[in-house]
Amino acid sequence: MSGSSLDGLDVAYCRLDTAWEEGVFLVKNWELLLVDTLPFTPDWQDRLRQLPTASALDFCNAHAALGHYLGELANRFFIEKKLDATVVDLIASHGHTIFHEPAQGFTVQIGDGAALAAATGCAVVCDFRTADVALGGQGAPLAPMADKMLFPGYDFYLNLGGIANITCRTPSDQFVAFDACGANQALNALANLLGQSYDANGQLAASGQLDPVLWEQINGQGYFAQPYPKSLSNQWVQQHLTQTCLAATSSIPDRLHTICQHVGYQLAQSVQQVLEQEHFAKEKYRMLATGGGVFNDYLMRCIQQHLPSVEVVIPSENVVKFKEALLMALLGVMRLEGAPNCMATVTGARKDTIGGGVYGGQ
């Protein structure tokens, strides 16, 4: 799994015990056995960052080259973890998102699956979003399938990555999900101005004050008033949040503070929208929070402040860091089992889909 932060490839070796019972695909048990984040080289970081404006030839070259590079990283993982690749049933790869424009009928995650299969000798499943988009869906978020199959017992599920997305298990046991707002992309961009990769524990943000002008700018976007299902592209976050925050004239701590409050506020708005639309009738709710943003103490305090009726639960560190890699493994297994792995209730597609292209293997 490679996210918008471009910090590297999250790799998880997982065990999934699955079964079909009365026509229903079930996960009986699961385990994260080995995990690691393998950093991208600076050259690859720059290449991926610039690819949205590259030529068609450069784009195709990068797609194939990234597949081989992901294979190199996977082989390094096998060696470092002393893992025999022949015992691996499949590699499930999300690839790296370059474009996500479901309203225009396309979404693009690069990293050629055939090249990855050739480099590792393993069966590869990839390209999980396009089938859903072809049927009119958002192709996102994918995380609700992991929430449904692997993490029972919560009303809401929050992923705090470059983009904050939220999933809800409705009173009728259906799932709805959507992107709530930008998050770590903008926070990290501001920290970079001070020579830091990120705002450790949210200390800078906690020391700042709300910038009322910036607050009005970033909360005034039309996206927030749209009904779900809906999703955000990295380009939207760059244009409507990151660039706006970079252009603001207040101190960097004030801008970081304002973004954290913005995320908490928009998540509260999203939760309220779901509660009203899905006819909830509870006094207290539970939310499982994962993604790198949960390590930002001030951001988590803002979220809890804006969601007083929600108990926010943070799982083990490995689940926080590698839940999306675990999700890819689940989606890959479901693809090979012929089980729908993308939910129409989440994406708005005309029907559930079995997403993913298969390469290599026997």
Band (pLDDT 50/70/90 cuts) for residue 140 is: confident
* Mean predicted lDDT score pLDDT of the chain: 95
236: how many CB neighbours lie within 10 A of its CB? 18
- My answer on whether 100 and 157 are in the same domain is no
Q: How far is CA 79 from CA 73, 74, 76, 86, 120, in A?
A: 10, 9, 5, 12, 12
- 175 and 40 assigned to the same domain: no
DSSP characters over 184-247: HHHHHHHHHTTT-SS-GGGHHHHH----HHHHHHHH--GGGGSPSS----HHHHIIIIIHHHHH
pLDDT (0 to 100) of residue 6: 73
Question: pLDDT confidence of 141, banded at 50, 70, 90?
Answer: confident
State residue 362's pLDDT score.
Answer: 58
CA–chain centroid gap for 122, Å, is 24
* Structural domain contains residue 318: no
CB–CB of 266/286 below 8 Å? Answer: no
Same domain, 200 and 228: yes
Q: What is the mean pLDDT of residues 144-148?
A: 92
Same domain (yes/no): 118, 225: no
156-160 sheet: strands from edge to edge = 175-182, 163-169, 156-160, 285-290, 310-313
Give the pLDDT confidence score for residue 5 in this predicted structure: 65
State whether 148 and 126 are in the same domain. no
- Answer yes or no: do 165 and 291 share one domain: yes
Q: At residue 115, does pLDDT exceed 80?
A: yes
| 29: nearest Cα among 326, 270, 259, 272 | 326
Give the three-state DSSP class for 311. Answer: strand
Domain that holds residue 71: 8-139+328-359
pLDDT given for residue 68 in this prediction:
98
The answer to whether residues 69 and 152 belong to one domain is no
Q: How confident is the model at residue 184 (pLDDT cuts 50, 70, 90)?
A: very high
d(CA 340, CA 342): 6
Structurally, how many domains does the chain consist of? 2
The proportion of the chain whose per-residue pLDDT surpasses 90, expressed as a percent, equals 90
Residues 81 and 35: their CA atoms lie apart, in Å, by 9
Do 166 and 231 lie in a common domain? yes
pLDDT the model gives residue 126: 98
21 phi and psi, to 5 degrees? -130, 115
pLDDT band at 2, cuts 50/70/90?
Answer: confident
CA 218, CA 109: separation in Å to the nearest integer?
27
Q: With beta carbons less than 8 A apart as the criterion, state whether 345 and 318 touch.
A: no
Instruction: Please check whether residue 125 is in contact with residue 335, taking contact to mean a CB–CB distance below 8 angstroms.
Output: yes
Closest Cα to residue 120, out of 82, 81, 88, 97? 88
Give the CATH number for residue 45. Answer: 3.30.420.40
Nearest to 337, CA basis, from 13, 32, 17, 12: 17
- Residues 140-147 have a mean pLDDT of 89
- The pLDDT tens digits of the residues spanning 72-85 come to 999 999 999 999 99
CA neighbours closer than 13 Å in the CB half-sphere of residue 303: 30
**What are the pLDDT digits (tens) for 301-347?**
999 999 999 999 999 999 999 999 999 999 999 999 999 999 998 89
226-245 pLDDT tens trace: 999 898 988 899 999 999 99
